[in-house]
Amino acid sequence: MSVLIKGGTVVNAEQSLRADVICDGGLITAVGTDLDAPSGATVIDAGGQYVMPGGIDPHTHMQLPFMGTVASEDFESGTSAGLAGGTTMIIDFVIPGPQQNLMEAYKQWREWAEKSVSDYSFHVAITWWDDSVHDDMGTLVRDHGVNSFKHFMAYKGAIMADDEILVNSFARSLELGAIPTVHAENGELVFRLQKELFEKGITGPEGHPLSRPPECEGEAANRAIRIAEVLKVPVYIVHNSCRQSLEAITRARNEGQRVFGEVLAGHLLVDDSIYRHKDFDVAAAHVMSPPFRSSEHQDALWKGLQSGNLQTTATDHCCFCADQKAAGKDDFRLIPNGTGGVENRMEVLWHHGVNTGKLTMNEFVKVTSTNAAQIFNIYPRKGSVAVGADADIVVWDPEATKTISTKTDHQKVDYNIFEGMEITGCPSHTISQGNVVYANGKLDVERGAGRYIDRPPFAPFYDALQKQAQLAEPVAVKR
């Protein structure tokens, strides 16, 4: 299928220019003025619209088995919802249980993801440690295109990584040319605060944010950053929700340490008063970790994006419906943690970021696509409207208006954390692998069309270490 996107303004991270775009064979084959349509091409009139790299959401959990249930969104419906919102690639997570073989878990998630309708990749979580984990990390980098390893510093008694795991895995990541990423909350402190609150009789969702104060996040973010500093490895902090973790990142970056920070659309726009809502279902629908915070933290996070101290935006799309959240009806600790948003990330960021002047259009492209592509080493294949790049494109109508609601959502969750939000600016068309998969409100996707995207290691480390290993091999001395 070939597509001519005519009359639009191409907006990349570095520049905007009036140009037509031709996609053919899954790639962008031409970017220029007054291009003619190849014979049989689909022509999209992009007059008055912006032609941007498809969004990359570097943090989703489709059909995640978690806290005794399974997330309601699967890879087919979740990637479809992403396309409806202009996101053309997700990076999800393989999360082995403690003592579970990494390759077995990786194989399981690869099977689950085969039904995806758009491209995807996986961070692999390190939830335990022994020599087999060390070796499997190497196999995943060398043979399976994994260049990032996740560490949950929260979730004691489940998937929490202690300092021993962090230190071993961070060091191994450096050897392999991979980047460690962390969910930064002090799991021991959270566990204790949860217990104290519950024993005091605070059992409802209002206990959730009380048990996870921003100081717990700031401590863990700083600890992960300091471990990375000593081991001389880059580090990526996922879903920063507060001033304290941002301060840890900013300090390190100001000292030249290679630290990256991610922020969720939800943490920029939803505040913690929701946990005191009289309706349990509404409050529980917002239980995710780290929790939504007060406006003080939202303001700090916006400044983090504007200053460049936070580089990517994501959703942590991990959906649980009311019947699942009800598991914590009498004990907030049992409410499955997670909220949706993969369909709304770009439009809420455009409305509250670009329309308000907080972000330029180019900065919007950086934080919704290009930076994630560069950090996870798939740029310029992804994250750019340029000849030779994958034809993953969103045609953005800056005048279109909508009111966000589960009633019109494609994502499979019964509560939208942005419910009722009126926005201006959203996709008119989404192109994935050169196919028009979303046009004027209608999806036209194919189950299984999504591809697993290999993310190469940051070669210099890996190659150098391989050479070093060969040199170190004892050479048999001929007598």
What number of H helices and E strands is found in the chain?
16, 21
Q: Is 66 in the site for ligand URQ (CB under 6 A)?
A: yes
Q: Residue 287 Cβ, how far from ligand URQ at the closest point, in Å?
A: 7
Cα separation, 6 vs 18, whole angstroms: 10
Residue 288 binding target from ligand URQ, Zn ion, none, CB below 5 to 8 Å by type: ligand URQ
DSSP 474: P
Asked whether 429 and 86 are in contact (CB, 8 A), the reply is no
Q: Residue 190 Cβ, how far from ligand URQ at the closest point, in Å?
A: 12
Helix (H) or strand (E) holding 50: strand 50-53
Mark 269-308 with x for binding to Zn ion (rule: CB under 5 A) and - for no binding: ----------------------------------------
Cα separation, 6 vs 45, whole angstroms: 5
Q: Residue 129 Cβ, how far from Zn ion at the closest point, in Å?
A: 19
Burial 5-32 (b: 16+ CB within 10 A, else e): bbbbbbbbbeebeebbbbbbeeebbebe
Residue 245 binding target from Zn ion, ligand URQ, none, CB below 5 to 8 Å by type: none
Q: Is 366 in the site for ligand URQ (CB under 6 A)?
A: no
Q: Is 57 in the site for ligand URQ (CB under 6 A)?
A: no
Residue 24, strand partner residues: 2, 27
3-state secondary structure 289-349: CCCCECHHHHHHHHHHHHHCCCCEEECCECCCCHHHHHHHCCCHHHCCCCECCCCCHHHHH
Q: Of 272 and 392, which CB lies nearer to ligand URQ in the complex structure?
A: 272
Binders of ligand URQ among residues 303 to 342 (CB under 6 A) are 316, 318, 337-338
Q: Quick one: which of 123, 144, 151, 183 contacts Zn ion (CB under 5 A)?
A: 183
Q: Of 316 and 409, which CB lies nearer to Zn ion in the complex structure?
A: 316
Across the beta sheet with 2-6, the strand order is 27-32, 20-24, 2-6, 42-45
Residue 123 binding target from Zn ion, ligand URQ, none, CB below 5 to 8 Å by type: none
* CA distance readout (Å), 13 to 32, 49, 158, 366: 17, 16, 39, 5
Q: Residue 135 Cβ, how far from ligand URQ at the closest point, in Å?
A: 26
Q: Residue 125 Cβ, how far from ligand URQ at the closest point, in Å?
A: 10
Q: Residue 318 Cβ, how far from ligand URQ at the closest point, in Å?
A: 4
Q: Of 123 and 382, which CB lies nearer to ligand URQ in the complex structure?
A: 123
Binders of Zn ion among residues 307 to 366 (CB under 5 A) are 316
Lookup: tokens for 38: 């190849």
Q: Which of 388, 477, 288, 312 is nearest to 25 (CA)?
A: 388
Q: Is 260 in the site for ligand URQ (CB under 6 A)?
A: no
Binders of ligand URQ among residues 168 to 207 (CB under 6 A) are 183
Q: Residue 159 Cβ, how far from ligand URQ at the closest point, in Å?
A: 8
Lookup: tokens for 244: 């304290």
Q: Of 183 and 366, which CB lies nearer to Zn ion in the complex structure?
A: 183
Residue 389 binding target from ligand URQ, Zn ion, none, CB below 5 to 8 Å by type: none
Binding segment toward Zn ion, per CB under 5 A, in 69-77, 84-92, 178-186, 435-443: 178-186
Cα separation, 209 vs 211, whole angstroms: 5
Q: Residue 12 Cβ, how far from Zn ion at the closest point, in Å?
A: 28
Burial 64-93 (b: 16+ CB within 10 A, else e): bebbebebbbbbbbbbbbbbbbbbbbbbbb
**Residue ranges in contact with ligand URQ by CB under 6 A:** 61, 66, 183, 288-289, 316, 318, 337-338
Write out the residues near Zn ion by the rule CB under 5 A. 183, 316
